[in-house]
Structures are given as C-alpha cells and as structure tokens.
C-alpha cells in the first residue's frame, strides 16, 4: 500500500489525533502533527478506548506491572478522556494530562493500523485467553517503559538538570513497546526453560524495526529527513536514532557497523543475559534491516534516473569514508528540485521493507535464529516481489556475518516492485 492511498482513505473516514513524530523536546518537533486513525469518528470511546485497547490513567501508580501484579488496574484513576463534539481527539491541549493519555492511545493505534495493513489481517493479542484488550497506562512513577502480558505502561526519562520527559509522548518508545506485543502475537512465546538469548535479541531488533518503519508514515518526518540529508540516508539522522531523547542522545542506533563477532554470543546462557546485552545483541540484525531499506531506496533512485550507479556505489558506508564530502555534494546536486521523486522512492522502500518484515515475522517460530530470519526474508521477497531484493538481503546479512548459504550481488528490481503493488491493488 502506498502512503498516499492510506492517507486519503483515513482522511475521509478516520478519527483525528495529534501526535509527536518524535520526542517533543527536539528543536524541530515542538508542534504535534495531525494523523487519522483508521476508525470512523464517534467509534472511539472515552479513555480513549475501543474493542482492542483502552487507556487507564492511573492515579498515583508508583509500581510497574510485574508478575503476579498484572492488569487490570483496580486503583483510583483520572476521568477518561472524551472525544470532541465531532468524535475526534485533536482538540486536546499539548501539555495536559488528557493530551498525554490520548497521545499514548493514538500512537499505539496508529502503529497497529500500519502493521495490520502490512500483514493484511487483524493481529490477535498473545494474551487473548486472559485479557480481551490491551491496557495502556501513560503515567507510572518509574524511569522506564515496558510492555508485557496485557499491557504497555510508560514512565519518564530523567536527565540531570532537566525536567523528566514522559515516554508516553515519545513515538519511538511507544512504537517499540508495541512492537514487542506484535512480535509476541506473531512469533509466539517460548515454553518455560526454552527461551534463548537469540529470541530476546531478535525481539529487541524487531521492536526497533517496528518503530523505524512506523515513523516514516509521518509526512513531516520524511520531508525533514530528505531535506536534511538530500537523500544521503547513511548520514546520522532522526530515522536511525531509535528512541531519540534529545538532540544528542538516543536509546539505540539503527545505522551501525556492528557484526555478530562484535556482540555477546547469541548462544550465551539466557540466565546470564542482561538488558543492555539484549539490546547490543540486537544491533547487527537491526543494522542489516536499516541497510536493506537504504539499499532499496538507492536502487530505486538509480532505476528512476535520480542518482547514478556510481554514486550508489560510492555511498556505501564501507567505501565512502575517504570521500564523504564529494558524496554529499553529489547527493545535493541530484536532490535539488526533485524532493517529491526522492520521497516517492523512500515511501516505496519503506513499504517494501514493511511488507517483507511483517510476512517474515509471521513465518517464524519462537525457536528462531538470525540465520532463519535471513532465510525467511529471502523466501518472502521471492513470493511477494519476485526475488527483487534477493541480492540486497544476501549482501546485508553476509556483511553482518549472519550465516547465509548464498552469494550474489545487486540487481535491478523496480519492475518487480511495481508488479507487487499491482498484485495487491
């Protein structure tokens, strides 16, 4: 599905929310952006809530959920947030408690809509046998955020000398936490005693990818990204700074040069695995996905005559170090006056990667390995896009030392992507 089609459909029948594409503390993001949730006005109940999820703005919740302390919240709570006269939620004032509750619901519902479109079906919750709906708790007196069995709840990021930043206003963090719920639903949960370090690392990588793809559904993010980089996406930028907390601090870096040999072993005993190690172990796979999406984007630019094959080659991270200025100047020249064409290629690369990832995750089981992820990506690309991205997938995984039984170079695939869009139209 293209971005233009989904946007027009939602604007005709959806419910309006205002969301910050990234943390509102960033200089460029003081004003939230209007989005449309794929539900008709008037169908979202006070809370906000619907048949899939609900917000409970807990009063004085100073303990995060942890087994056996699980939803539903039975303590005191603030009044549920009400829709405006026409059934929308874009009337709420940023900075208010009501806005924070609506922002959390709107973000999680927006990201769910995106990934269910990529999957082509509704995603049943992994906790459905015990809870009918996902509970969203926007304010917990805690310095973290997490998702679990039937809930997502968020606290605050605390920095010395600055005001606490509520994670319920951070799109990347919320999308990442929702990503865990999505992966639990698609891949499953290991039986007791069977969970592996690879499973934990894959979870963190997939959740980061959920956030990275989702944020590209904001027009403002794509516009600003291209205007700042001129299409040279391997530059440090807001897309590859996952969970950005300030202009200089992020939780993880999607664009990285880590290989499997640079991280703790995926075979390490899970009982010794720390949370920082989970995140570190996820980075080679996340980096491979980021590289794939950028490679697809640049391949489409080449196919559309927007950059040269030589510039595509020189802009590889492993090649460009000696001549970064010349590479950037070349992108500056090619981008000038062609913003819309670059944006179209980026939207196509986003949707290619989103559809491949969604189908890949659905095809995996909990006893996975990174090699199985790579093999399933290849199989999905072959089924859905006629093998258009085969060699990009192979090269990206091989460069990260993720085992793969094939070799190959780049290939042209614009026509195969067009065929894939026609097949699903």
Does 78 score more than 50 pLDDT?
yes
Tell whether the model's pLDDT for residue 3 goes beyond 60: no
How confident is the model over 324-346, as a mean pLDDT?
A: 95
The domain defined by 3-189 carries CATH number 3.90.1150.10: no
Q: How do beta strands 15-19 and 33-37 pair?
A: antiparallel
Q: Which of 147-151, 252-256, 292-296 has the weakest average pLDDT?
A: 252-256
Indicate where the chain has its CATH 3.10.170.10 domain(s).
3-189
Query: What's the Rg (C-alpha) of the chain?
Result: 21
Per-residue pLDDT for 34 more than 80?
A: yes
Q: Within 10 A of 9 (CB to CB), how many other CB atoms are there?
A: 13
CA angle centred on 214, ends 425 and 22, rounded to 5°: 150
Task: Answer whether the bond into residue 159 is a cis peptide, omega within 30°.
Answer: no
Under 8 Å between Cβ of 130 and 150 = yes
d(CA 46, CA 83): 7
Residue partners of 84: CB distance under 8 A and separation at least 6:
90, 91
List the structure tokens of 393: 């997938």
Beta carbons within 8 Å of 96's beta carbon, 6+ residues apart: none
Read off the pTM. Answer: 0.89
Q: Which residues contact 158 (CB under 8 A, 6 or more apart)?
A: 143, 164, 165
ω into residue 68 within 30 of 0, thus cis? yes
> Token digits for 149?
């069995």
Render pLDDT for 140-174 as a digit per residue (tens, 0 to 9).
Answer: 999 889 999 999 999 998 765 567 789 999 999 99
Q: Would you state the structure tokens that stand for residue 169, as one six-digit string?
A: 């206003």
In contact, 362 and 185? CB cutoff 8 Å = no
With cut-offs at 50, 70 and 90, classify the pLDDT of residue 320.
low
Question: What is the pLDDT at residue 25?
Answer: 64
Tell me which residue of 170, 140, 134, 172 sits closest to 153, measured CA to CA. 140
Counting residues of the chain whose pLDDT is more than 90, the rounded percentage is: 70
Tokens of 219: 């027009």
Q: What are phi and psi of 154, to 5 degrees?
A: -135, 145
**What local confidence, expressed as pLDDT, does residue 1 receive?**
28
User: Mutual orientation of helices 197-215 and 339-362 as an angle, nearest 10°?
Assistant: 150
Q: Which is more confidently placed, 112 or 319?
A: 112
Whether the CB-CB separation of 168 and 81 falls below 8 Å is answered with no
Taking the CA atoms of 212, 213, 215 and 216 in sequence, report the sign of the dihedral they define. Answer: positive
Helix (H, G, I), strand (E, B) or coil at 134: strand
Q: Quick one: pLDDT at residue 9? A: 46
Closest CA to 173 of 209, 206, 145: 145
């Amino acid at each position: 599905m293209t971005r233009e089609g989904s946007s027009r459909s939602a604007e005709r029948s959806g419910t309006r929310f205002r969301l910050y594409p990234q943390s509102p503390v960033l200089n460029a993001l003081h004003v939230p952006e209007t989005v449309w949730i794929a539900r008709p006005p008037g169908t979202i109940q006070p809370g906000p809530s619907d048949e899939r999820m609900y917000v409970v703005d807990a009063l004085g919740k100073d303990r995060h959920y942890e087994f056996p302390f699980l939803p539903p919240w039975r303590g005191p709570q603030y009044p549920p947030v009400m829709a405006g006269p026409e059934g929308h939620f874009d009337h709420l004032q940023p900075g208010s408690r009501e806005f924070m509750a609506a922002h959390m619901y709107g973000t999680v519902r927006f990201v769910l809509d995106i990934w269910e479109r990529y999957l082509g079906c509704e995603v049943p919750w992994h906790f459905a046998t015990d809870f009918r709906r996902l509970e969203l708790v926007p304010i917990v007196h805690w310095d973290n955020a997490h998702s679990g069995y039937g809930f997502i709840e968020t606290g605050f990021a605390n920095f010395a000398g600055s005001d606490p930043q509520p994670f319920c206003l951070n799109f990347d963090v919320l999308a990442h936490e929702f990503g865990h719920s999505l992966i639990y639903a698609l891949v499953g949960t290991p039986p007791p005693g069977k969970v592996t370090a690879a499973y934990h690392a894959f979870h963190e990588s997939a959740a980061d990818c959920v956030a990275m793809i989702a944020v590209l559904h904001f027009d403002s993010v794509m516009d600003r990204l291209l205007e700042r980089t001129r299409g040279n996406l391997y530059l440090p930028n807001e897309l590859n700074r996952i969970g950005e907390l300030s202009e200089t601090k992020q939780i993880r870096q999607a664009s990285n040069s880590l290989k499997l040999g640079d991280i703790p072993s995926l075979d390490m005993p899970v009982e010794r695995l720390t949370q920082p190690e989970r995140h570190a172990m996820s980075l080679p796979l996340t980096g491979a996905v980021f590289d794939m999406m950028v490679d697809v984007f640049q391949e489409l630019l080449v196919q559309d005559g927007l950059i040269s094959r030589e510039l595509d080659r020189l802009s590889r991270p492993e090649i460009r170090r000696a001549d970064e200025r010349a590479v950037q100047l070349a992108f500056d020249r090619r981008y000038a006056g062609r913003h819309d064409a670059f944006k179209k290629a980026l939207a196509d690369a986003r949707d290619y990667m989103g559809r491949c990832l969604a189908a890949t995750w659905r095809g995996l089981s909990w006893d996975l390995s990174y090699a199985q992820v790579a093999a399933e990506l290849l199989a999905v690309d072959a089924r859905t896009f006629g093998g258009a991205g085969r060699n990009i997938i192979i090269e990206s995984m091989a460069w990260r030392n993720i085992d793969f039984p094939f070799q190959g170079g780049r290939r042209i695939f614009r026509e195969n992507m067009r065929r894939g869009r026609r097949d699903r139209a």
